[in-house]
Structure 1
Amino acid sequence: MRIHELTGAWGTARVAELGGCVLSWRPRGGDDVLFVSAEAALTPGDMWHGGIPVCAPWFGAGRGDWVVPHSHGLVSRVPWRTDLVEQSDDRAKVVMTLGSADVAHLPGADRYPDDLGYRLDICMDASALTATLTITSPSSSVVVDQAFHPYLRVDATTVTVTGLEGVGFQDAADGWAPGSHDEPLTFDGRTDLVYESAPPVFINDGVRTRRLSSHGASRTVVWNPGEGNDQLPGDEWRQFICVEFGNVRTGAVTIPAGGVHRLAMTIEV
């Protein structure tokens, strides 16, 4: 499966056509900002733990009165087409596109318009990475969930997340119980919180602070499977957290016929 290897004075990155997934970003040759599981297998039809997966047109187990055939939608499970690769000493850019015909063979695709289109713009330099997902629906109104699902390489046992204090959430690990917190978020077990807005978020690992922000998002999801999970081998759960921006569950967006929705996420280091 084709992977774009990008390099310049700004740093290095790897972007897979499968899923349109950024696998690695090392600004100025430093540590990788992203985590990828040692067991990640880039296989069409599957979704792996790591990088920046793109979730659409549903997120997680979806919503509504039907049971999704697999979590997090369709577009992460097929190769995207590369329309542009640009790189220089200062920056790099990759543009990829996907159409409904590319996912038509997957279970669940028939619930969405057959002309739904996706475009992914990934831009990066020495200080920031921005991913933008554009979804177009030329002929039909459609409700879609969408999210960027970055795996951020940190020590989950010591990291703190700020910026979400006072924001209401639903706790998926506790039967979707509502809640909020006044202190920075820390991780001491399974964490799966869906926050009701998408403010800028700051991640501090004791050495550095990274800022995450979004445009076109209404929800923030914070996830880590915790110790003893059946999703990752060994102690890999300690090596990352996910802070995700999107429009999910009650925050899903309606794209009118002939309409467009853009979701962008920026990671700054």
Structure 2
Amino acid sequence: MSESSNKPLSPLSPGQWSFTRWKTIGQLEALEVHHPLFEATLFLQGAHLTHFVPKNESNWLWLSPNARFEPGRAIRGGIPICWPWFGDPARNAPEVRKRVKTKNAHGFARTALWKLENVNESAHEVEIALSLEANRDFMNVWSGQALALLTFSFSVRGCQLTLTSTNLGSEPLSFSQALHTYLPTTDITRSRVLGLGHSNYIDTLKNWEYCAQDGPVYFDGETDSIYESGEPMIVVTPESSRKITSVGSDSTVVWNPGPDKAKTLSDFPDTAWQTMLCVETANAASDYRVLNKGQSYTLGVLIGRG
């Protein structure tokens, strides 16, 4: 999925970076990319991308105006990394659930401090790699040993995230995960998702009932569905069209809190549900993954022009 360029990417030490700079935002450290063709903002906490902005365009990601940048607090918007479990632990498969020692949703990766592994820059692309080792530091919430390596690739064709999980333990490791992408819209009622027609899905708002999708996904109030599909999608809003291409995923989550749930969410304005939607590349519900000792698995998404 990575874009090739005329000039190969080369690793650079911090003093040599041409386009990438450290910046403190709120109480968190971030990497800001100011490339002639695009800009991006990536936080070390949560390996959390909040901005991808091609030249002369607005942010391709939705970020809450109430987002708070504090240690241990998940950032509302952008692309949170849900790992090594997705959603409510109790709603995960038994093999995933047995390792989770907390009732908190979406794993610990989105509030953990990731390690910068590398920055590669070229005239056409910037790649940033971050890692998180799930070791004894997390044993109070999860029993497992794993390494997550997340690579971000930014170019004029879009932004790509590639998350590779490796089982460092001696026993088989079951996990679920999601790249929880928030996208902006000027009007949720005039927005739709193409590419999920004829897919089966779990409607979590109807006691996890199985349903069949017919045609595009429209938004009429709260939406929280897990589709049994990893096919490419087009997200159409009044102002833009984005293509979502996933790798390593056979499940897609479509979410909007609607007016009532919006009032209960942290760092989320009551009316913000009208201006955002989530289309999440996932391994969720029955689409969880199992790794034997030393095995790796990659989940990825490319967000491009529709």
TM bin, normalised by shorter chain, reads over 0.9
| 1:169 paired to 2:209 | no
> Aligned to 1:137, which of 156, 167, 180?
167
Equivalent position amino acid for 1:260 in 2: S
Contact 1:59–1:71 (CA under 8 A) maintained in structure 2? yes
For 1:112 and 1:85, the matched residues in 2 are separated by 29
| 1:188 paired to 2:220 | yes
Contact 1:75–1:103 (CA under 8 A) maintained in structure 2? no
Equivalent position amino acid for 1:71 in 2: A
Equivalent position amino acid for 1:141 in 2: P
User: What's 1:146 paired with?
Assistant: 177
Contact 1:58–1:144 (CA under 8 A) maintained in structure 2? yes
User: What's 1:74 paired with?
Assistant: 108
* Structure 1 residues 48-99: Cα deviation after superposition (integer angstroms, max 9, x where no partner): 3201111111000022366743110011111101111233442211100111
* SS across alignment from 1:2: strand
| 1:6 paired to 2:42 | no
Q: How high is the sequence identity, in percent, across the aligned residues?
A: 27
> Aligned to 2:57, which of 14, 27, 30?
30
Equivalent position amino acid for 1:220 in 2: T
User: What's 1:242 paired with?
Assistant: 278
| 1:104 paired to 2:138 | yes
How many residues are treated as equivalent by the alignment?
A: 265
* SS across alignment from 1:173: helix
| 1:128 paired to 2:158 | yes
* SS across alignment from 1:228: helix
For 1:104 and 1:28, the matched residues in 2 are separated by 40
Deviation at 1:103, TM superposition (A): 4.5
TM-score by length of 1: 0.93
Give 5+ residue unaligned stretches, structure 1: none
User: What's 2:192 paired with?
Assistant: 160
Equivalent position amino acid for 2:50 in 1: L
User: What's 2:247 paired with?
Assistant: 215
TM-score by length of 2: 0.83
Question: Who wins on radius of gyration, i.e. which is larger?
Answer: 2
Equivalent position amino acid for 1:104 in 2: F
Equivalent position amino acid for 2:158 in 1: A
Deviation at 1:2, TM superposition (A): 1.0
* SS across alignment from 1:234: coil
Equivalent position amino acid for 1:149 in 2: H
Equivalent position amino acid for 1:184 in 2: P
RMSD value, Cα: 1.6
> Aligned to 2:84, which of 51, 54, 57?
57
For 1:143 and 1:128, the matched residues in 2 are separated by 31
> Aligned to 1:260, which of 296, 300, 304?
296
